[in-house]
Structures are given as C-alpha cells and as structure tokens.
Amino acid sequence: MASEAHHALKARARQRNRSAESLAREILERSLVPESRTGLGSRIAAPWDGAGLSGVDLERDRTPCEPMDLQ
C-alpha cells in the first residue's frame, strides 16, 4: 500500500476510534461483496409481479392534444 494511502487510512481510523485494520477490512468488504438489496426498478415492479401483465402491449392514444384556452 502506498505510504500516502496508509497515512490516510490511519487518520480516518483515528477519527472513528477504530483500528486501521478493522477499517481496512470494512472498506474491502464493502467494495468487493455485492449488496443484496434490490434495485429501484425491481422494487417498483414488485407489486405487479403476479398480475399477469407479461407481454401486454398497450397502444397509446396518438390524438394531438388541444391547447388550453387561457382567456
């Protein structure tokens, strides 16, 4: 490990009242082990999983909108 990185690790560990070794383990674990939480898209789609909407094609109305009359 580069000397500068080693000093930065020790300084951060001191700020958090931890050992440099335990902080290094935490940093490595967070960067190497994927998080198990689901992504936003999966959470949004979850309520509709059992609705049988797979492959449903909905055609949108392409009629132009009428502008608002602001007078």
Length in residues, the chain: 71
CB 10 within 8 A of CB 20: yes
Full domain range(s) for residue 21? 1-34
Consecutive H or E run containing 12: helix 3-15
Q: Give the chain's domain count.
A: 1
* Structural domain includes residue 53: no
* Structural domain includes residue 69: no
* Structural domain includes residue 47: no
* Structural domain includes residue 15: yes
Q: Give CA–CA dist 34/5, Å, rounded.
A: 24
* Structural domain includes residue 42: no
In whole angstroms, how large is the CA radius of gyration of the chain?
26
For the question of whether the overall pTM of this predicted structure is more than 0.75, the answer is: no
Residue found under tokens 């080693």: 6
Q: What is the pLDDT along the chain (71 residues), one digit of tens a residue?
A: 789 999 999 999 999 999 999 999 999 998 888 777 788 888 888 888 877 777 677 788 899 999 999 98
* Structural domain includes residue 2: yes
* Structural domain includes residue 25: yes
* Structural domain includes residue 57: no
